[in-house]
Amino acid sequence: MKAAVYRQRGVAHDVLTIEDLPDPTPGQGEVRVRVHASGVNPTDWKSRSGDAPMTVEYQIPNQDGAGVIDAVGDGVDESRIGERVWLFHAAWNRVNGTAAEYTVVPSDQAVRLPDSITFNQAAGLAIPYITAYGCLYLDGPIAGKSILIAGGAGAVGHAAIELAKFDGAQVITTVSSPEKAELARAAGADVIVNYREADAIDQIKAAALGGVDRVIEVALGANIELDLSVLRPAGSIITYAAEPTGDPQLPVRRLMTDNVTLHFILVYNFTQTQIDDAVAGVSKALAAGALTPLPEIHFTLDQIAEAHEAVEAGITGKVIVDIA
C-alpha cells in the first residue's frame, strides 16, 4: 500500500515521506479498513514534531479517518466486511495511522457510519467530537444548562456547539472575527461574542443571567478572567488544550471563593465508559442529522506535509487528506 510515513520526528517537510509498505493484516479482534479520507488534527503534527526519539521503526500519522472494512481478524464477525466506518485513535500506540491506503484498528475503533454521511465529514469526527462530548458531560447532564464554549469556530469548539445544542443546552460561544462568528452561527450557537471586544464579558453576562454553568475552554490562561467573570458560583471549567504561551498562573483564592471546579482532560486517557458514551452520543447526533462539517481543505496523500503544515498554522476548517 501507499502510505505517509515518518521514521524520526521533526519538521513536516523534513521527515514525512511517501512509501510503499506491505498491506497490513488484521489481527485478533481487529478490522482492516480501506481508507477513503484521513482527517488531520493538531495532535497529529504535535506527535510528529519535536526531537524525542522514536520508539517504533516508523509511524504512519493521523488518528482520524473513514473508509470501508475490507477484511476482519479472528473473533470479528465477517458481516462487518463492506461496512462504511469512521475511525478513532488509529495511531494511538499503533503505527498504522490513517494516512495510508489501509489501516488496521481494533474492531470497536471502527464505528458504523450512516449512509447519508460522507467519508470527508466522517474523517472529521473522532478527535474533535469525542473530546467535545467528554468535556460537555464531565459534570453530568447538560440539557437546560448554560454552557460557554471558547473558540466556537475551532474543530473541538464546533463539535461542542453542535453536541450541546442537540442535547438542549444554551450555548454561548466566543470567536475572534465575523467569519468565525458565521461558522459558530451555522453550528447552532445561541449567542456569539467576539472575545476581542472590550465588552465581551458584559455580552456574555447579559446572555446568561446568574452565570454560565460550565465553560469548555481551549485557552485557560488567556480566558481565566473572562471565565471567572461569567461563571456562576460552583460552576466548572473544563480545559482540553495546553497553550503555546505556557502554563497559566491561577488566581487560587478567587477560584476557592467561587467554589470553582477545574477539570483537565486528554482524549487518549478517557475511561472505556467515557469512550463508549462519547461514541454512542456522537453516533446518535450523527444519525439524527445534527452534525455538520466545517469547511473542508483538501490535500492529496503526496501533500501530507502541506496538510500537516496547514493544521500547524491554525487554518480555519477541517483539513482532509484524500486517499481514495
Ligand X SMILES: NC(=O)c1ccc[n+]([C@@H]2O[C@H](COP(=O)([O-])OP(=O)(O)OC[C@H]3O[C@@H](n4cnc5c(N)ncnc54)[C@H](OP(=O)(O)O)[C@@H]3O)[C@@H](O)[C@H]2O)c1
Whole-angstrom Cα distance, residue 140 to residue 138? 6
Q: In the bound complex, what is the minimum distance in angstroms from residue 323's beta carbon to ligand X?
A: 20
Whole-angstrom Cα distance, residue 2 to residue 155? 28
Query: What is the full DSSP assignment across 29-81?
Result: TEEEEEEEEEEE-HHHHHHHSS-PPPSSS-BB--SEEEEEEEEE-TTS-GGGT
Q: Which residue is nearest to ligand X (CB)?
A: 154
Altogether, the residues listed in the chain come to a count of 324
Run of H or E residues at 174: strand 170-175
Q: Number of H helices and number of E strands within the chain?
A: 11, 15
Q: Are 237 and 260 spatial neighbours (Cβ–Cβ below 8 Å)?
A: yes
**Inter-helix orientation angle 155-166/126-137, to 10°:** 50
- Bridge partners (DSSP) of residue 18 are 4
- Alpha carbon 318 to its chain centroid, in Å, reads 10
Smaller CB separation from ligand X, 175 or 323: 175
Q: In the bound complex, what is the minimum distance in angstroms from residue 274's beta carbon to ligand X?
A: 11
Interacting residues toward ligand X by CB under 6 A: 41-43, 127-128, 131, 150-151, 153-157, 174-176, 180, 195, 218-219, 222-223, 240-241, 265-267, 314
Smaller CB separation from ligand X, 98 or 174: 174
Smaller CB separation from ligand X, 101 or 190: 190
Smaller CB separation from ligand X, 127 or 260: 127
- C-alpha cell of residue 323: 486517499
Smaller CB separation from ligand X, 67 or 151: 151
Q: In the bound complex, what is the minimum distance in angstroms from residue 317's beta carbon to ligand X?
A: 8
Smaller CB separation from ligand X, 73 or 317: 317
Run of H or E residues at 215: strand 212-217
Whole-angstrom Cα distance, residue 266 to residue 241? 8
